[in-house]
Chain A
Amino acid sequence: MSEQSFVHREHRNRHHGFAERLARGVVQAVEHALEAEAIETRSGFLQGLDPRIKLAGFLALIVSGVLTTSLIVLVALFLLALVLALSSRVSVARLFKQVWIGVLFFTGVIALPATVLVPGNPVWQIPLLHWNVTEQGLRSAAFLIGRAETSATFALLLILTTPWTHVLKAMRSLGVPVVLVAILGMTYRYIFVLLHTAMQMFEARRSRIVAVMGGAQRRRTVAATAGVLLDKTFQLSADVHLAMLSRGYRGEVHLLDDFHTRRRDWLALFPALMLPVLILWFQR
């Protein structure tokens, strides 16, 4: 993953080899999963809500952030995300590290030229370059960064306060087929298995290197690793298939559905669902 992501990356050690970089990526992905699991178990406002309500509510909030054409509403939504985080014992430092700084770097770089490229009323001229920073340009950059920051904060809060298996089960209430829910659950499980396998393969290769590898040689190594991993993937899927058959799997997926909504769930869902409706109503 090279773009905006919840996985915190460090770019300082660029001179490190590709094996180290992959290994660090794997460790960071696993860390993200473990940290999410630790936060899910804390007692807080979002942790106490039904996962289905949370999923529908957060989707409504993300859609609201994309729908609004007012910067004030966008700021209000961002503050709401902050309040929800603090009431769920998710620290500002975590949001800063996992979302805000990453989004600011990624979207900020994209949004910055818009301040001079979007035509409109000039508000300031950059000295020496004589480029005009326009009001419309500043507003469009604020919209882009504001929307990206707000939506990503809501998305992270959902993942940090809900176990992944519950998010998947909650998807059923949104009409996602049960087979797809089962596949997503298993995919998530095997991502870590395959990441671990890939890391071990790179480690094994690295421990057998006695000289600096050239570019072409390194490319061949990565392609070969991907090839072996593909072979292992097919073997693994065949093994999993046999294991499933031996346990009575005949192509039908059944998931336990043990969620129960309470009054406060509905009290939380109602304003969340009303928000996009109100935004659409006032923007008519």
Chain B
Amino acid sequence: MHIPDGYLSPATCAITYAAALPFWYVAFARVKCLLHTRTVPLLAVFSAFSFVIMMFNLPLPGGTSGHAVGVAVATIVLGPWASMVAVSIALLIQSLFFGDGGITTYGANCLNMAVAGTLVAHWTYMLIAGRAELTASRRVVAAAIAGYLAINVAALLTAVEFGVQPMLFHDATGTPLYAPYPLAIAIPAMMIGHLTVAGLAELVISGGLVAYLQRANPDLLAYSVSSGVADTRARASIWRSTRTLWFILAALMILSPLGLLVEGTAWGEWGVDDFAIGEARQQISSASGNEALPATVPQGLEHLAIVWTAPVPDYAPGFMQNANLGYILSAVFGTGLILLAFLLISRASPK
């Protein structure tokens, strides 16, 4: 699960760092806002706990044993934001001091385990546990499933990151320069181990820990970090902590027409028309390592192309004369839709 240096291309590493960065920023800002002077000691000691949990060797049914990441445990006890920060810090110490996971791939490791793992664990736990009592057995099941799903989603992301490497990064002779296996091999290879041993380890530690805490100290299950008054205060100052991110988002929307400067269609985003035009065929072929294109439009593509027609084709509404303005409008509209979806999800999920 911890990707070492050399498995991912520099471009993939840069993209995963960029993808993890906003989550780190918002998570740290929220945690700081909630905890004030408690931030440093709580995060430091809890990150150390996350590290220690990763060293536990769990006896599993069937006689094997496995290590857990403990991401669901951190999420259930600390809440998603503090968990993201704590697991990221534990991963940084693992990679820098203990050589477990690479330095260039640290962004990818955090994106897979700390960010995606935490979010999946949080949503699953909230969805299944609902408003059940702190001591209800439903919470044990919720925690166990949250742990199992979180680690498997993280493994799937890792497999996808591995699987796209040979497709995108190879030399002129076709030698893969980084992880050598395509998605068809990378995904089953990663998932078999995680759907069984590693997933089971996560299931045992998450469910087992919640079951223990219900008997010994149920208070710890009540989101000890982000509950009550502190949460209200955090909501009030959410604008202050995320202000910079909103400005960056606005700048990105305005810069979106930059995409028009690049000639040709994005790799893999070809339509039926592109297979018919000679110039477009030439571009597809040269972008795909001079692979010969089929003489006619692939049947599957032709068949599926009529299933869904985009309301705003090619990011520019038909009535818009200026393509740049159309691009900006599409960016604003698309981002608005995503924000609305997240707003609805956050309203719908039980507090």
Contact = CB atoms under 8 A, between A and B. Distances in A.
Contacts of A141: 180
A186 B46 CA distance: 10
Contacts of A222: 56, 58-59, 204-205, 208
B146 to A, nearest CB: 15
Interface size class of B (residues with CB under 8 A): 35 or more
Contacts of B40: 179, 182-183, 186, 244, 249, 253
Contacts of A182: 40, 44
B103 interface: yes
A155 B216 CA distance: 42
B46 A237 contact: yes
Interface stretch (B47-55, B294-302, B324-332): B47-55
A63 B107 CA distance: 14
A33 B175 CA distance: 39
B175 A120 contact: yes
Interface stretch (B90-98, B249-257, B281-289, B308-316): B90-98
Interface in A145-198: 146-148, 150-152, 155-156, 159, 164, 167, 179-180, 182-191, 193-195, 198
Contacts of A33: 97
A51 interface: no
A188 B93 contact: yes
B37 A244 contact: yes
B41 interface: yes
B317 interface: no
Interface in A116-161: 117-120, 135-137, 139-141, 143-144, 146-148, 150-152, 155-156, 159
Contact of A59 (B103, B175, B204): B103
Interface in A3-26: 3-7, 18, 21-22, 25-26
A80 to B, nearest CB: 16
Contact of A191 (B2, B93, B176, B208): B93
A190 B166 CA distance: 41
Interface size class of A (residues with CB under 8 A): 35 or more
B7 interface: yes
Interface string B114-143: 000000000000000000000000000000
Given A1-B98, A99-B99, A151-B102, A219 B58 contact: yes
A227 B175 contact: no
A188 B92 CA distance: 11
Contacts of B8: 66
B99 A219 contact: no
A118 B95 CA distance: 29
B78 to A, nearest CB: 10
B73 interface: yes
A18 B55 CA distance: 11
A43 interface: no
Interface in B161-179: 166, 171, 173-179
Given A18-B59, A148-B4, A226-B53, A237 B45 contact: yes
A152 B99 contact: yes
A152 B104 CA distance: 11
A32 B93 contact: no
B100 interface: yes
B93 A143 contact: no
Question: Taking each of A5, A6, A227, which has the highest tally of chain B beta carbons within 10 Å of its own beta carbon?
Answer: A227
Interface stretch (B61-69, B237-245, B336-344): B61-69
Interface in B1-41: 1-2, 4-10, 13, 28, 32, 36-41
Contact of A215 (B59, B66, B185, B208): B59
A237 B41 contact: yes
A227 B212 contact: yes
Contacts of A259: none
A159 B93 CA distance: 11
Contacts of B44: 182-187, 189-190, 237, 240
Given A159-B97, A187-B48, A194-B49, A241 B5 contact: no
Contacts of B42: 237, 241
B57 interface: yes
Contacts of B171: 69
Interface in A60-116: 62-63, 65-67, 69, 98-99, 103, 106-107, 111, 113-114
Question: Taking each of B13, B92, B97, which has the highest tally of chain A beta carbons within 10 Å of its own beta carbon?
Answer: B97
Nearest to B95: A155
A278 interface: no
A231 B217 contact: yes
Contacts of A150: 6
A228 to B, nearest CB: 8
A63 B104 contact: yes
Nearest to A99: B99
Nearest to B8: A66
Given A66-B13, A155-B5, 16 more contacts: A140-B166, A152-B99, A184-B44, A184-B93, A190-B45, A194-B52, A220-B208, A222-B56, A222-B204, A222-B205, A226-B70, A230-B213, A231-B216, A231-B217, A237-B42, A241-B38
- 10 A-B pairs with least C-beta separation: A147-B6, A223-B208, A151-B5, A186-B44, A6-B99, A227-B212, A190-B48, A237-B45, A114-B180, A240-B41
27 contacts: A5-B100, A6-B97, A32-B98, A66-B104, A139-B173, A143-B177, A146-B6, A150-B6, A151-B102, A159-B99, A183-B47, A187-B43, A187-B45, A187-B48, A187-B93, A190-B48, A194-B48, A219-B59, A226-B56, A226-B208, A227-B217, A228-B216, A230-B209, A233-B45, A237-B42, A244-B40, A251-B37
